[in-house]
Amino acid sequence: MIKRLFDFMSAFLGIIILFPFFLIVSFLIKTTSKGPVFYTQKRAGRHAKLFTIIKFRSMFANHGDSNTVTVKGDIRITKFGAFIRKYKIDELPALWNVLIGEMSLVGPRPDLPDYLLLLQGEDKKILNLRPGITGPASLKYANEEQILMHQDDPETYHYEVIFKDKVKINLDYYYNRNLLVDLKLIFATIFRLSYTVKVNKKIRLSPPDVSSKELDFIKKDFNIDWVASFGPHIYNFEQKLSAFSNSFQVAALSSGTASLHLSLILLGVKKGDKVLCSSFTFSASANPIAYVGANPIFIDSEMESWNMCPVLLEKAIKDCVLEGEKPKAIMLVHLYGMPAKMDEIMKISNQYDIPVIEDAAEALGSTYKNQPLGTFGKFGVYSFNGNKIITTSGGGALVCEDKSLVEKAKFLATQARDDKPHYEHSEIGYNYRMSNVCAGIGFGQLEVLEDRILKKRTIKSFYKKELSTIKEISFLEESEGSFSNYWLTTILLDKGSAIDREQLRLHLEKDNIECRPLWKPMHLQPVFKDCKYYVNGISEDLFNRGICLPSGTNMTKKDLERVVNKIKELYEA
Ligand SMILES: Cc1ncc(COP(=O)(O)O)c(C=O)c1O
């Protein structure tokens, strides 16, 4: 009752005192963009009753969808709108909602009606409160649009992290509210809005790193001839990449996945054939096996390199031979840049005469006994996706010692066009060739590959040194003869660790630091549930306990320190 009286009096006085200010804002809204001064929207109020909230219009009229979250820099927001949103001036007309009893000065923000469905059990208690113009949750997330700006999927982040956290905060307010708390929140809101809050910049897992050196190269030479499917950069890029791959022949293609697909086709893998494949990998290693209609048999990892276990590989081959059908290929992945046990794997491949396709998508620049990965098997594949050690914005390459096979790959990748003046096709082809523009970027990026490897390795060493005090954390290490590009620094939490990997991931995510669990093994993926597998529990265990730390080569020392301090904060709490 006292709160209602306080709300009524404050809203009444507020509207009278602020009236001249409202007139100025209205005038500026009208003169800076077409449309009405006010914006109204249905919101869920007390006891889930719908009411119409009134705000100053901050978006262009008829911008379309008004039910999706807004992020800083949202194109739907007008210039003046951005200003009034920053200082929450757009919310002031809701004083009218307070005056007529639909809202309160302090309380949970009224959400869109759809959000009601997300409230579970005890959370629904917050619906007993009048929604507020400000409140503890609104205060904590005063910079919500800025936080969302850094997310890949703002909508999901809003629901998964912010909304859930807000509900928790509002429930806490529900139990502890009184007039003094409200007064403190009102003053805190006024104080908070009088300065801008700095949001920690997003630290991504492995963003593209294209420096001015490469951009200069591209700019210097860029002309309209570049923008074509074919051109000189493709050839130059292939030549340069060949120098990193034992002078093997190279076909620059549109993606790593396309390169794996063509490798299987070139090996003659067909419908119903068996292909042995690392289980601990990204789905892109296994999907091409399905593209050709073959059946993957997933092989678990060994603990030293986390890659394909030679013991299980041989067991699987022996079983297949006993069943009367030898597998057609081994899809071997070098995960996170770490070389697999090449001596053992190649011995098995030679002994049973089953060709290896090396998925070195993540491992460009890594070596085993000084030999580049990708050059041990029949085919090697690299990826130049945006998150890889070097990028062409999207692309891949197939490498092979046999020139005729690489020529065939290029032929298939360009729609299998026969050598005729007209368009003649005797085989099914694909549109898998890398474009000239991408190859130009790749050429520049190859110039800095060595630097990038050094930086990735420095990042891993930094984490290892700085986190050495946390006994529950261990790192993936090179074994003798292995040299990893450490594309991503990965850590494992001890089995007995009080903190699990999800706790750690969310703790970092709340500070705008992106981390990912290690790859979920293919034999546990719903899409491959009917496939055969040979497991020893290692990849599943790695998935449960492992996490990839931000490893972008453009990270500064400060960024790295931020990640380390945040991890320490959790363990030292
Ligand atoms: C292990 C692995 N294989 C294959 C691929 C596919 O490469 P792309 O994205 O270039 O198709 C990736 C990465 O994306 C990968 O990490």
CATH number at residue 433: 3.40.640.10
Band the pLDDT of 153: cuts 50, 70, 90.
confident
Task: Please state the domain count of the chain.
Answer: 3
Radius of gyration of the chain (CA): 29
| Residues 173 and 240 both lie in one domain | no
Helix H or strand E segment including 223: none
| Residues 408 and 283 both lie in one domain | yes
* Residue 202, domain member (yes or no): no
Mutate to test the pocket of ligand 1, among 282, 283, 338 (most ligand atoms within 8 A of CB): 282
Q: Residue with the nearest Cα to atom 15 of ligand 1?
A: 361
Per-residue pLDDT for 359 more than 90? yes
Residue 224 has a pLDDT of 64
* C-alpha to C-alpha distance for 97 and 39, rounded to whole angstroms: 13
| Residues 301 and 426 both lie in one domain | yes
* Residue 500, domain member (yes or no): yes
Per-residue pLDDT for 65 more than 80? no
* C-alpha to C-alpha distance for 326 and 344, rounded to whole angstroms: 19
The predicted model gives 380-394 an average pLDDT of 96
Q: Do 492 and 512 contact (CB within 8 A), yes or no?
A: no
Is the torsion defined by CA of 311, 363, 261, 525 positive or negative?
Answer: positive
Q: Print the domain residue range for 466.
A: 450-572
More confident of the two residues 466 and 147: 466
Which range, of 26-35, 43-52, 72-81, 99-108, averages the lowest pLDDT?
A: 72-81
The predicted model gives 356-385 an average pLDDT of 98
Which range, of 204-208, 436-440, 542-546, averages the lowest pLDDT?
A: 436-440
> Which atom of ligand 1 sits closest to the CA of residue 385?
10
Residue 260 CA to ligand 1 center (angstroms) comes to 9
Per-residue pLDDT for 565 more than 60? yes
The domain boundary residue, chosen from 412, 434, 449:
449
| Residues 219 and 178 both lie in one domain | no
Q: Residue with the nearest Cα to atom 8 of ligand 1?
A: 256
Per-residue pLDDT for 197 more than 60? no
Task: Read off the tokens for 512.
Answer: 């705008």
* C-alpha to C-alpha distance for 206 and 390, rounded to whole angstroms: 10
> Which atom of ligand 1 sits closest to the CA of residue 259?
11
Mutate to test the pocket of ligand 1, among 383, 490, 518, 519 (most ligand atoms within 8 A of CB): 383
> Which atom of ligand 1 sits closest to the CA of residue 396?
10
Residue 387 CA to ligand 1 center (angstroms) comes to 10
Distances in whole angstroms, Cα of residue 476 to Cα of each of 303, 344, 424, 508? 9, 20, 51, 20
Which range, of 104-118, 121-135, 181-195, 388-402, averages the lowest pLDDT?
A: 181-195
* Residue 81, domain member (yes or no): yes
| Residues 365 and 223 both lie in one domain | yes
* Residue 353, domain member (yes or no): yes
The residues that bridge with 341 in the sheet, in sequence order, are none
Band the pLDDT of 212: cuts 50, 70, 90.
confident
- For residue 195, what are the contacts with CB-CB under 8 A and spacing of at least 6? none
- For residue 529, what are the contacts with CB-CB under 8 A and spacing of at least 6? none
| Residues 445 and 497 both lie in one domain | no
Residue 570 CA to ligand 1 center (angstroms) comes to 32
- What is the pTM (predicted TM-score) of this model? 0.76
* Residue 386, domain member (yes or no): yes
Which residues line ligand 1 at a C-beta cut-off of 6 Å?
255-257, 281-282, 284-285, 333, 359, 361-362, 383, 385, 396
Name the residue type at position 397.
A
Residue 385 CA to ligand 1 center (angstroms) comes to 7
Residue 161 CA to ligand 1 center (angstroms) comes to 28
Residue 259 CA to ligand 1 center (angstroms) comes to 10
Residue 150 has a pLDDT of 74
Residue 417 has a pLDDT of 95
| Residues 330 and 387 both lie in one domain | yes
Band the pLDDT of 225: cuts 50, 70, 90.
low
Distances in whole angstroms, Cα of residue 337 to Cα of each of 312, 341, 356, 372? 22, 13, 17, 11
Residue 86 has a pLDDT of 84
| Residues 424 and 514 both lie in one domain | no
Q: Residue with the nearest Cα to atom 7 of ligand 1?
A: 256
Residue 2 CA to ligand 1 center (angstroms) comes to 62
The residues that bridge with 371 in the sheet, in sequence order, are 368
| Residues 340 and 475 both lie in one domain | no
Which pairing describes strands 274-278 and 546-549: parallel, antiparallel, or unpaired?
unpaired
| Residues 335 and 464 both lie in one domain | no
Per-residue pLDDT for 227 more than 70? no
Share of the chain above pLDDT 70, in %: 96
Average pLDDT, the chain: 93
* Residue 206, domain member (yes or no): no
The domain boundary residue, chosen from 125, 160, 193:
193
Per-residue pLDDT for 140 more than 90? no
* Residue 198, domain member (yes or no): no
The domain boundary residue, chosen from 132, 161, 193:
193
> Which atom of ligand 1 sits closest to the CA of residue 359?
3
Residue 81 CA to ligand 1 center (angstroms) comes to 42
> Which atom of ligand 1 sits closest to the CA of residue 260?
4
Residue 522 has a pLDDT of 98
Query: Widest CA span of the chain, in angstroms?
Result: 89
Residue 247 CA to ligand 1 center (angstroms) comes to 23
| CATH code of 540's domain | 3.90.1150.10
Q: Do 324 and 236 contact (CB within 8 A), yes or no?
A: no
Which range, of 126-140, 195-209, 401-415, 480-494, averages the lowest pLDDT?
A: 195-209
Band the pLDDT of 15: cuts 50, 70, 90.
very high
| Residues 247 and 170 both lie in one domain | no
| Residues 442 and 459 both lie in one domain | no
* Residue 200, domain member (yes or no): no
The predicted model gives 323-333 an average pLDDT of 97
The predicted model gives 177-205 an average pLDDT of 82
